[in-house]
A and B are shown apart, each in its own frame.
Chain A
């Protein structure tokens, strides 16, 4: 069978009614011409020759202005599309400067090791074409000990990640004296990644970096690049705490692109159930790949990566034998070698289809892909465009398809495509002065250099923090200086990315004599992914978890071939510790403040492949996790509910439905990732909470006991919906939600009222299997009472 080109395939699909009926929107983005400027005069002639030999006769206009500002020692933030030559915007000033002043140094920060490796190739080839003696090295956890000393002294350009800067470089800055006394430029790529918790840590790492630079009497210039976000300048200035010039007009030419928004058909109108987004994604991806159109498929979870990879392999195998690498998964947790092999395979087209989490969203060079399928809204406008951009980075017609899932966010976009296309991307927010985060970095900073009275570090009163640490015996105050006075190494106490820096190693014991590490997983995810009896998947191979050894941080697995996967059930209990602000809104009490959250994984469901049937349950016994964070909540007084003609169970279902909508729309309103906030229903006292999941909905006494209390009556219970920051200490969302409560509740009412389903569906109050058949009705009645 002759293979179709992408245009032919697309034309054929548009003629198929069962496909075209589900297209909610098509947006064609036409090709655009480039804008060019000549090289500035100050560029070294050797350097210019190298660039010209590469075919860069001129600079794109944005490159020209970026290097111009940097030359004037202004900090810049560059926001232009993928493949617009962003790397030259920092490589030109950096290399030019080293050519002019061979002692000068530059520090490159990339959010991941993989990106750093990728950039190294680029700089290495530029340097070798230049024939100049410019030492460029990566310095990360993988750098061998014997190489480290040479890098500290000779590295003109040191390429690293924020984690290494935090734990490996700043606490040893005296060994890096050469770098810090000559540090001219700091390059930060993918600046938009540093938002939320990671960004809050990052700002503090930059504060520490600048503090060290000041010690060596130096002030570097920052050159930053970012994907498109709503507030790049503000974000950069917040992270760097200094003025930054924004350059956001791209001079690079663009090829033609097509963006399709696809909504799977409703298969059960009463229950409002749509076809799973995986189904059309699987069909499109397999057709594209069969036609030799190299494709990337993004899913929103690691589990879906594995499921979809398995499905695609199954289909493609029916067509004939395929190379193991022909279709593959890709996600964090795969070992680095495997990931390098997949990236390489994508570049040389041995890998024709890759199913990935957002791990491939950033600028890792994987060559020119032609098509991109997103299974589900990636959670933000910025991510959507970033993922779509992975197809057709350089030339030719490319395609991006977003397949909507059933949840409120996806459906909102499917129903309002014009809203999505006109929507500006998200704001990046950080809260570097989150007390816990700040405190950790004050400790690290004190370890690096004693604090002097009058110094500034963040907005909180520094002296109070220092005295607190003095009292704790961590710092020692003498005269007007605070010295580190503990044996520990504070940078090791905190990881920039998640609360627990520990990893769990996954060990394959299939071969008795030869145990092998096949993957690793962060501590928090381990509880839901590798509990005893779980099915864990790597490259679509299933493994059964025989034992999750908490002590040793290892999960022992063996290969199995079963027709199901597992999904963990957790529950959450929230207790109010302190209320920061209260107000009465009509009849409900709206508050925000500090809460204690206790979570526990209690069991798992076995779910059959393809049919998604529930084929069994199991219990899990793992310790509960405890965190303090900030939350926004509203309480519906019991007397309101007493008037309603529903049973206690119905009321709980209704509240659950209401909470479902609130949670999803809050994430949308905040433009945050849905996982950055979490939701729970309970009693304000913390004595009662609603346990849901696994098809059970009961009021129980506490997470640890998990016992159903039969004497509990709805009348004793003031149901409270908590929406809290999923990070210890909070990230600042709850106050925003407190202020936006009215708008939030109105949108939830509009969402539920406007939803065409009969009893509730994943778009409004959640799937009826989870919230029951009356949830929609009860939720609306409660909302009516609140008018």
Chain B
């Protein structure tokens, strides 16, 4: 008896008879996602949902303004928008993007080449993909680009209406990128750029991004702001740092499904949210870049700046060898009074002085700290070290350690170290007296 492949498969997978457990689990999961999505959604989106059910299929051009572009490799769709300088994005205006300082951007990226470039030569990139698992089976179906041009921020979204448009779209992307000197992304090092590089290889096209300087905002965001965020997702940064709130945003995990839906039904209504989401991502990236660059810029150090951010910024600056800038920021923070961050700033600053051999300043700082808090282990220890090794004041060093010991918890690690130091000093003293 001959059966066709399909019947045999249905039988083997038991599809004809019963649903598999995984399928039911999947269904529960999907249901949960849908409920989550509905709960998160504002009225506008639920209206859209209803509308969608009864309306006829909507054509792409009617939903997404843009046009078909044609090149040697085929056609694809591009939607271009301009955000004017006066437009606002959260607590900032678009015009502020123009003020992005290239030196500071270079510092964030740890790539000097960016400092030698202009903002107009930078390219912001964010992709929407058919999955998050990575690997060759994941396609970037929407490639969002952004750049600064004549006082406004331009976004251009390259869309594959079907997989067959990929080569043409990638060639267009390469041509656009050819005029650019550096990239700015959010998590692009681990995801978007690697994925595009895979797409270029699969389409047998040269990859334009190899070796291009790349500022991935995820890393500096974590470094500078991670201490006060529950996670480092772009939406979280938008809400908590940029004070920008999206209305009815599509959750990221729904995006692949929307595209598959589009491929099947070609109803552009399902894409509207996706394009908006992508475009907002790009604008947020630009604004975030400005915010981060300002954090490491002493000129923007204000009384109302977040102290913890400043401490984090100074640490990054020290790491990148920008000691002068770090000192300015630390001083400003230290001068703010006697809070936890002021203390932290003094600590770092004093160590920085020590590192630069500015002993006078360091010692003054430690003395001040001991003055304010006679049990300050850090200052007492540093002073004791200075007295012992630099100033040759063994007795003063001994008394400083003794003072610290009074405050130390008995038999703690710290106490052991102090006792060790104390004993050594006593030995030295005895020798000196002999």
Residues of A participating in the B interface, judged by any CB pair closer than 8 Å: 171-175, 177, 435-436, 439, 446-450, 460-461, 464-465, 468, 473, 476, 478-479, 481, 483-490, 577-581, 594, 596, 626, 628, 728-729
Contact = CB atoms under 8 A, between A and B. Distances in A.
A719 to B, nearest CB: 25
Contacts of B6: 464, 468
Contact of A485 (B14, B134, B260): B260
Contacts of A481: 163-164
A490 B264 contact: no
B260 A174 contact: no
A464 B4 CA distance: 9
A476 B163 contact: yes
Interface stretch (B194-202, B331-339, B384-392): B194-202
Given A476-B163, A478-B162, A729-B12, 20 more contacts: A171-B137, A175-B198, A177-B201, A449-B202, A460-B5, A461-B5, A464-B6, A468-B6, A473-B260, A476-B260, A476-B263, A478-B163, A486-B131, A487-B133, A488-B131, A488-B133, A489-B137, A578-B11, A580-B1, A594-B11
Contacts of A449: 136, 202
A628 B137 CA distance: 29
A468 B135 contact: no
A628 B11 contact: yes
Contacts of A447: 135-137
Contact of B137 (A468, A490, A580): A490
Contacts of A729: 12
B12 A174 contact: no
B350 interface: no
B139 interface: yes
Contacts of B9: 435-436, 439, 468
Interface in B133-171: 133-137, 139, 162-164
Given A461-B5, A473-B260, A483 B12 contact: no
Given A473-B264, A486-B260, A487-B256, A173 B133 contact: no
Nearest to A623: B21
A172 B136 contact: yes
A487 B263 CA distance: 14
Contacts of B132: 487
A173 B4 CA distance: 33
B74 to A, nearest CB: 11
A153 to B, nearest CB: 13
B187 to A, nearest CB: 16
Given A464-B4, A478-B162, A628-B11, A489 B136 contact: no
B301 to A, nearest CB: 36
Contacts of B139: 483-484
Contacts of B137: 171, 446-448, 484, 489-490
Contact of A577 (B11, B130, B198, B264): B11
A487 B128 CA distance: 12
Interface string B1-18: 101111011011110000
Nearest to A460: B5
Chain B interface residue number, banded: 20 to 34
Nearest to A594: B11
Contacts of A728: 12
A95 B187 CA distance: 40
Contacts of B1: 578-581
Contact of A628 (B14, B131, B135, B256): B14
A729 B139 CA distance: 32
Nearest to B260: A485
Nearest to B162: A478
Nearest to B133: A489
Nearest to A490: B137
A435 B132 CA distance: 29
Given A490-B137, A578-B11, A485 B162 contact: no
Contacts, number: 95
Given A468-B9, A594-B11, A174 B202 contact: yes
A171 B136 contact: yes
Q: 8 closest pairs, A vs B, by CB?
A: A447-B137, A484-B137, A487-B131, A489-B133, A174-B198, A171-B135, A483-B163, A174-B201
Contacts of A580: 1
B256 A478 contact: no
A449 B139 CA distance: 11
B254 to A, nearest CB: 11
B257 to A, nearest CB: 8
A450 B163 contact: yes
A581 B3 CA distance: 13
Interface of B: 1, 3-6, 8-9, 11-14, 130-137, 139, 162-164, 197-198, 201-202, 256-257, 260, 263-264
A465 B5 contact: yes
A464 B3 CA distance: 12
7 contacts: A171-B136, A450-B163, A464-B6, A485-B260, A487-B133, A487-B257, A488-B131
Nearest to B161: A478
A179 B134 CA distance: 19
A435 B5 CA distance: 8
Nearest to B20: A626
A174 B197 contact: yes
Contacts of B257: 487
A294 B3 CA distance: 57
Contact of A487 (B8, B130, B202): B130
A490 B130 CA distance: 14
A623 B149 CA distance: 65
Contacts of B260: 473, 476, 485-486
B130 A435 contact: no
A594 B3 CA distance: 12
B169 to A, nearest CB: 14
Contacts of A174: 136, 197-198, 201-202
Given A447-B135, A478-B164, A436 B197 contact: no
Contacts of B133: 487-489
Nearest to A629: B12
Contacts of B201: 174, 177
Contacts of A476: 162-163, 260, 263
Most B CB within 10 A of own CB, among A173, A448, A476, A490: A476
Contacts of A626: 14
Contacts of A594: 11-12
Contact of B5 (A468, A486, A489): A468
A448 B136 contact: yes
Contacts of B264: 473
A88 to B, nearest CB: 36
Contacts of B130: 484-487
Contacts of B263: 476, 485
Nearest to B135: A171
Nearest to A175: B198
B316 to A, nearest CB: 22
A486 B129 CA distance: 11
Nearest to B2: A580
A515 B135 CA distance: 36
A488 B134 CA distance: 9
Contact of A479 (B3, B4, B164): B164
A233 B198 CA distance: 38
Most B CB within 10 A of own CB, among A465, A484, A729: A484
B12 A628 contact: yes
B266 to A, nearest CB: 12
Nearest to A447: B137
A460 B12 CA distance: 16
Contacts of A577: 11
A446 B198 CA distance: 15
B5 A436 contact: no
B380 to A, nearest CB: 38
A322 B230 CA distance: 56
B200 to A, nearest CB: 9
A452 to B, nearest CB: 12
A671 to B, nearest CB: 26
B135 A464 contact: no
Contacts of A461: 5
